Structure 1
């Protein structure tokens, strides 16, 4: 996703300056969000439209990263619920086996002259009550007492696991609701941006794209993995470059389409490194370095909320998945305000 660009920070190769005027009309971008279906507003000056589209893209990207986080959490909770259910089932089988063994002992006692009152009490639904009575314990054999003690522990653990599974299931439902909510927000923002862009002529759209979201700047040095901080960083750069031209799809993390954090996560996965799913988490996935010290493979997060991430590839450039309709490509590292540079 893209936002307004500023000149690259001193210390890196400078790109040709692109003046970006933030029109006061940008503050009214939210007006394009509340209509369903979204209706195109009058195009107005190209800079005004561009400012509003940039704002919508930035808001959509923030919602996308929130969607990614909620989706990842949903997956974790789903696995936790399945594991809890499996554990509860195994625990119940164990309880059934232990109660069956004790029932067999009771049957043997009955056949030999009557059931022991202690075993009759134990076979009730509340064996804990039995274990609280020391006098009754004295009447049991050592082996039966040990089995009953173990049964009590298993039943208590089983009750705890059932409660945990119930809580995890409730949290899973809340996480699913969050995923759906963020998805609706992303789609609404992107629909509003498309409506604005569709209000322009094809020539105006092309000029707008060239002005604020052009790809590689010819004044910059060619990007390269040379000088990467580590072999794995170099491998991640090569993987990211292999994705050039792949489409941006929000929520996607490869191999055929990507959003911003999906691209960096996928690229490092090809190098054997597991990165978190969201740009905010990737911001803290390593050691922070100064922008002037950036090396190929470093992650560059943007905006104060770190809602966009790219990979530095040298030559004053990054490779990233910009926004819907724009493929994975190179852009100047100073294309928007930098939040942090992270060396993985």
Structure 2
């Protein structure tokens, strides 16, 4: 029968030791937790959130640029596939005719050297030998050489298409990585803001996740002078101005109700019938170059932040732009941004 003895009670000294050990463990645990998740000040939280949002916005433009390249590769693949199909049809038609001749000659017990050539595993070598031995006429040799050339061209086109497809897949993988990076930055910003009270969150996040707050230093659309610029620039500026303080920044968005920085520029000029790429990096080479900011006119495209940001010049050293996550389309001093890398006029 199993024993049901009452467990032995620990001594008073043992209880004291265990109690002290437990207290120490709790204290250490509390210290570790405090070290792992320190209380942030509003200033520290704002600094972290702003950095995360800037990084996420820069990643968005890298994503947009990779997407532009991927779409160009898709177009190239489509053209190559069309050409491959056309070339394959030509080769198939000639080979079909050759097969019919071979079948007919085989039934008669003799195959013409020309047909032997095309049925050879090495038609180019056979052709050279056949011409040297006067087994085929020069006209036949020219016709067969043309077919061999078509087959070689078809093979090169297939190899090129395979290479383009591989490059496209690489870009797709890169795009996924960039997008994941941007989303990770935003999740971190959210986690930082979640540690604060609602009042502190509003102060540190400036409307984060709502997009209803104008950026600091926002100017007024009333200060923008549209005289002396092209009709396209006027139309683009009027379109962009209508979104100031209204449309929020949003990942990969190109209007009409939300934008990222290059999406705003693309959408604004689309209202004037001008097609532009959805990428701050690609916008560095559109239109014509403007030598310096002193030569810039309202409506010119200004790329800064090492190519990672873009907006429309609003005059008086101001930039009309979709700044970053948490803000609406705004007009800000260019001094808020990094070095200008390109000024382009449409």
TM-score norm. by structure 1 comes to: 0.77
Aligned to 2:343: 342
1:98 equivalent to 2:94? Answer: yes
| Structure with greater proportional helix content | 2
Q: CA deviation at 1:340?
A: 4.2
Q: CA deviation at 1:316?
A: 4.9
SS of 1:192 mapped into structure 2: helix
Change (3 A) 1:54 1:327: same
Stretch moving more, 134-143 or 270-279: 134-143
SS of 2:281 mapped into structure 1: helix
1:99-138 matched pairs, under 5 angstroms: 99-110=95-106, 114-135=110-131, 138=134
CA distance in 1 between partners of 2:206 and 2:183 (Å): 25
CA distance in 2 between partners of 1:180 and 1:251 (Å): 13
RMSD of equivalent CA atoms = 3.0
Q: CA deviation at 1:225?
A: 5.1
CA distance in 2 between partners of 1:283 and 1:157 (Å): 36
CA distance in 1 between partners of 2:310 and 2:145 (Å): 56
Change (3 A) 1:295 1:170: same
Aligned to 2:333: 332
CA contact (8 A) 1:228 1:234 kept: no
Q: CA deviation at 1:263?
A: 1.0
CA contact (8 A) 2:214 2:329 kept: no
Stretch moving more, 153-162 or 53-62: 53-62
The correspondence for 2:144, drawn from 142, 148, 173, is 148
CA contact (8 A) 1:102 1:144 kept: no
1:167-186 matched pairs, under 5 angstroms: 167-186=163-182
1:1-344 matched pairs, under 5 angstroms: 42=38, 44-110=40-106, 114-135=110-131, 138-141=134-137, 143-208=139-204, 214-215=214-215, 222-224=222-224, 226-227=226-227, 229-244=229-244, 245-285=246-286, 286-303=288-305, 305-314=306-315, 316-340=317-341, 342-344=343-345
Change (3 A) 1:242 1:131: farther
Change (3 A) 1:107 1:209: closer
Q: CA deviation at 1:307?
A: 1.5
| Greater RCO, CA 8 A, separation 6+ | 1
Change (3 A) 1:154 1:95: same
Q: CA deviation at 1:161?
A: 0.7
Q: CA deviation at 1:287?
A: 1.7
CA distance in 2 between partners of 1:209 and 1:330 (Å): 19
Which stretches in structure 2 are left out of the alignment for 5+ residues? 1-35, 208-212
CA contact (8 A) 2:219 2:331 kept: no
Stretch moving more, 315-324 or 256-265: 315-324
CA distance in 2 between partners of 1:230 and 1:137 (Å): 72
